[in-house]
Amino acid sequence: MTEFITEEMTLNMGPQHPSTHGVLRFQLTSDGEVIHSVKPDVGYLHRSIEKIAEKVTYHGFMPYTDRVDYVAAMNSNFAWALTVEKLGGYQVPERAEYLRVIAAELNRISSHLIMLGVMAMDIGAVTPFPYFLRERETINDLLEELCGARLTYNYIRIGGVSSDLPDGFRDRALRFLDHFEPIIDEFNRLITYNEIFVNRLANIVIIPREQAIAWALVGPNLRASGVKWDLRKDEPYSIYPQVEFDIPVGKGEVGTVGDCFDRFIVRVDEMRESSKIIRQCLDKMPEGEIQSKLPRQLKPPKGEVYVRSESARGEMGYYLVSNGGLNPERVKIRTGSFSAMAIMEEVSKGIMIADMVALISSLDVIAPEIDR
């Protein structure tokens, strides 16, 4: 009788692999198609953003925050502004708060559209991606009208925002939402409940509630495991307490709570909630100033502060230390993608290589958030 002898293979997924969506490398050890271990190798996109913060002014660091997460740059702007404002005790006009939330929620939808379209494409469904991009382009047009940029915005400023709504923006935004909300149902018919797609994601890489908490998952990845935690509700900031919206969580709709499908569907549902928030902000927005009067050269008092907000990939936190000078003494940024990378090695043992692609996509990791 012939004895078959197998041995482990070491494979490199990335840093140029299409499914890693950026310069991100995983070293896989597998027996055929079955993964035995995964070791993430990060740092290919490290740009010393935190060190740069020590060399520029508080206002001057805002454009760099766009580069922390260039898919949801508006939320990065938001987090930095909140941090400096808390340390310095700076006030923000109410109209500016509404403008911030409108911009942040439009950007959240835009980010989720990229994630959902790319995840479908990674699994093998190419058709949905252009449909998702079509809607994202309309959002890009709206944000370009608002601030002049389509990717890295530099719109939210310490103490307010850079510009007010252009003429006709409200009507154009509402027309987009009237078009987009029914389109979500069309997306679901096109891909979400497609039988092949469901079979590729249901019951794949299940992350239970306790494990998600233990490994510090945040945002949609945490909520997909059944944890109803959203900083916009649980540690509210800006004008989020003044608007009504729900927090989607994983329900194991076609598989088990916390599987790849739940991480997909939670983001689909979050787009509906963001649409609700934008509508309410457009209806309730007061008149008034969009920027408080602050000195061009800020000198927040000596001290330290940590502020976190709900970005598209979950908690984005800025730890800021001030020595009372023009430049920060120290800045440390906490991001959702970096948190998600920690759990990769734990949950990937025993899965198939093809399912590794689904796992990476479902966690929605993005290289600049990991490396900074």
Q: What residues are paired with 35 via a beta bridge?
A: 30
On the question of pLDDT at 1 being above 80, the answer is no
Q: Is residue 99 in some structural domain?
A: yes
Q: Which tens digit of pLDDT belongs to each residue from 119-168?
A: 888 888 888 899 999 999 999 999 999 988 888 888 999 999 999 999 99
Round to the nearest angstrom and report the end-to-end CA distance of the chain. 56
DSSP class per residue in 289-344: -SB----SS--PPSEEEEEEEEETTEEEEEEEEE-SSSS-SEEEEE-HHHHHHHHH
DSSP reduced 3-state for 13: strand
Q: Work out how many domains the chain is built from and give that number.
A: 1
Residue 2 placed within a domain: no
- How far is 274 from 283, CA to CA, in rounded Å? 14
Predicted pLDDT of residue 355? 86
Query: Which pair of tokens denotes residue 216?
Result: 């510090």
Q: Is 360 helix (H, G, I), strand (E, B) or coil?
A: helix
Q: CATH number of the domain that 40 lies in?
A: 1.10.645.10
Q: Answer whether residue 4 shows pLDDT above 80.
A: no
Q: How many residues does the chain have?
A: 372
The string of DSSP letters for 262-289 reads: HHHHHHHHHHHHHHHHHHHHHHHPPPS-
Distance of alpha carbon 93 from alpha carbon 306, whole angstroms? 22
Structural contact between residues 106 and 9, judged by C-beta atoms closer than 8 angstroms: no
SS3 14: coil
Whole-number Å distance between alpha carbons of 149 and 151: 6
What are the CA-CA distances from residue 232 to residues 203, 241, 320 (Å)?
A: 29, 8, 21
Query: Does the pLDDT value for residue 247 go beyond 70?
Result: yes
Q: Is residue 59 part of a domain?
A: yes
φ, ψ dihedrals at 207, nearest 5°:
-115, 100
Domain that includes residue 269, residue range: 9-362
Identify the band that residue 269 occupies on the pLDDT scale cut at 50, 70 and 90.
Answer: very high
Percent share of the chain, pLDDT over 70 = 97
Give the tens place of pLDDT for each residue, 293-345: 998 888 999 999 999 999 999 899 999 999 989 999 999 999 888 888 888 88
